[in-house]
């Protein structure tokens, strides 16, 4: 009776646990910790969305069980967003389902389509649910490069030739968490052509669709002709509208995959609270200036962070999208590894970051830094980091105004 349950045995120890424990202990001692390790938006949800929630929750008829696949008006609103933003037409009845955030949708679709022993192709490093949703469902995961370039495409070709059984699905995530890479439509065209040829499903995580900083506006994979034959895409209101705790997301695309997810969810939940769904309609159909404001806020924070780190002597590439910077560990600390470096940075600088190892073995050597504090706190953080690095022999950079143009992938 003491043996671990089968699915629990397949999950490794939580990489972030020791850093989180050190963070909690420091705060218990009264220390001021600047937490850049989480991906939790710190800005309030736009007022018109909150007002719609308040209005809806006062209606007693909205207090009962909802609809697992999402109320019709919400599915129509998501279809309207896709047509406006990506020029993609979706059938709200057959090609759209509301989820309790994109994470829940990904995990439940993994359970719906996975047989024990299936092989799934997952970028490494990547957001943990991308691999562990399938590992929990009984699949084997094969890592591929996380960059949207020929390296990934060549790795996919090798994976098909050398995997037994043949891979059944591929995960992609652009703008990506944690690496902040973006993909363009030409890359998606090659990906869709590959997947159709090899009869492999694509699951695209587009949770950061509206958080971008340059000329490349993140496209939807569903904009590629024929993509809906093999692809489903997950989106979320969490970052776009600062609605992380509301837990509202979507899956859209391939009718067979949407049907499978719908059937699984019909056994597991009754959908999000109806007033939250009504407020989500207001978010998607209402004024969108708040989205541009949120994007500008993250861009300002990115610029402050990257310039401050550069001045401190830490050369971190400027992210082109998402709400994270993917930072190589400074040379004097690389032998420590990402977990021990994160703990040392917390101890000596009072700044918490996420160790790259938590996003896969190829995340080792990096830490993820979230743009989740205001610019004043980010400046405070970079000053503390500068003192920390200087104490360990890292010289500050010569005064300059470094470009925030992202490095090419």
Query: Which residues, 6+ apart, have CB-to-CB distance to 34 below 8 Å?
Result: 350, 351, 352, 373, 377, 380, 381, 384
**149 and 187 in contact (C-beta within 8 Å)?**
yes
pTM: 0.92
Q: Could you read off the pLDDT of 104-128 as tens digits, one per residue?
A: 999 999 999 999 889 999 999 999 9
Say yes or no: do domains 6-44+289-392 and 48-286 share a fold. no
**246 and 99 in contact (C-beta within 8 Å)?**
no
Domain boundaries of the chain, sorted by first residue: 6-44+289-392, 48-286
Give the model's confidence band at 399: pLDDT under 50 very low, under 70 low, under 90 confident, else very high.
low
Fold of the 6-44+289-392 domain: 3.90.1150
Q: Could you read off the pLDDT of 261-285 as tens digits, one per residue?
A: 999 999 999 899 999 999 999 999 9
Tokens of 266: 């019909």
Q: Could you read off the pLDDT of 200-236 as tens digits, one per residue?
A: 999 999 999 999 999 999 999 999 999 999 999 999 9
User: How far lies 337's CA from each of 73, 216, 365, in Å?
Assistant: 49, 33, 6
pLDDT at 2: 67
User: Which residue, 342, 339, 350, is CA-closest to 382?
Assistant: 350
Residue written as token pair 């599915």: 75
The class that CATH gives domain 48-286 is: alpha beta
Torsion, CA 172, CA 369, CA 393, CA 338, rounded to 10: -50
Tell how far CA 105 is from the center of its chain. 13
Average pLDDT, integer, range 30-37: 94
pLDDT of 380 over the 60 cut:
yes
Element spanning 81, H or E? helix 72-86
Element spanning 23, H or E? helix 17-28
Tell how far CA 39 is from the center of its chain. 9
Average pLDDT, integer, range 45-62: 96
* Percent of the chain clearing pLDDT 90 (strictly above): 86
Query: Which residues, 6+ apart, have CB-to-CB distance to 163 below 8 Å?
Result: 119, 142
């Amino acid at each position: 009776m003491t043996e671990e349950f089968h699915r629990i045995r397949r999950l490794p120890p939580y990489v972030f646990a020791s850093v989180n424990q050190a963070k909690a202990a420091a705060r218990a001692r009264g220390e001021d910790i600047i937490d850049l390790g989480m991906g939790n938006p710190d800005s309030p949800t736009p007022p018109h969305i909150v007002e719609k929630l308040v209005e809806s929750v006062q209606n007693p008829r909205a207090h009962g069980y909802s609809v697992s696949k999402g109320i019709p008006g919400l599915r129509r609103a998501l279809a309207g967003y896709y047509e406006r933003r990506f020029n993609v037409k979706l059938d709200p009845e057959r090609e759209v389902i509301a989820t309790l955030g994109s994470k829940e949708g990904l995990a439940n679709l993994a359970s719906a389509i996975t047989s024990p022993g299936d092989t799934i192709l997952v970028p490494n490093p990547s957001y943990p649910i991308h691999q562990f949703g399938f590992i929990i469902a009984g699949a084997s995961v094969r890592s591929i490069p996380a960059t949207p370039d020929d390296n990934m495409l060549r790795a996919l070709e090798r994976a098909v030739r050398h995997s037994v059984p043949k891979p059944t699905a591929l995960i992609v995530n652009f703008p990506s968490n944690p690496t902040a890479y973006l993909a363009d439509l030409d890359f998606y065209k090659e990906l869709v052509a590959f997947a159709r040829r090899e009869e492999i499903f694509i699951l695209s995580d587009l949770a950061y669709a509206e958080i971008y900083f340059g000329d490349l506006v993140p496209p939807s994979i569903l904009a590629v002709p024929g993509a809906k034959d093999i692809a489903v895409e997950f989106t979320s209101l969490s970052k776009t509208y600062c609605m992380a705790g509301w837990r509202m997301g979507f899956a859209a695309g391939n009718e067979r995959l949407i049907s499978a997810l719908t059937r699984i969810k019909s056994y597991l939940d009754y959908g999000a609270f109806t007033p939250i769904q009504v407020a989500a309609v207001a978010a998607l159909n209402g004024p969108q200036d708040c989205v541009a404001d949120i994007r500008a806020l993250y861009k300002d924070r990115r610029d402050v962070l990257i310039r401050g780190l550069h001045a401190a002597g830490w050369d971190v590439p400027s992210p082109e999208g998402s709400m994270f910077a993917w930072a190589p560990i400074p040379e004097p600390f690389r032998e420590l590894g990402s977990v021990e470096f994160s703990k040392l940075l917390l101890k000596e600088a009072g700044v918490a970051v996420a160790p790259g190892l938590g996003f896969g073995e190829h995340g080792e050597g990096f830490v993820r830094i979230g743009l989740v504090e205001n610019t004043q706190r980010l400046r405070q953080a970079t000053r503390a980091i500068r003192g920390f690095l200087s104490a360990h022999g890292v010289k500050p950079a010569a005064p300059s105004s470094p470009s925030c143009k992202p490095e090419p992938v």
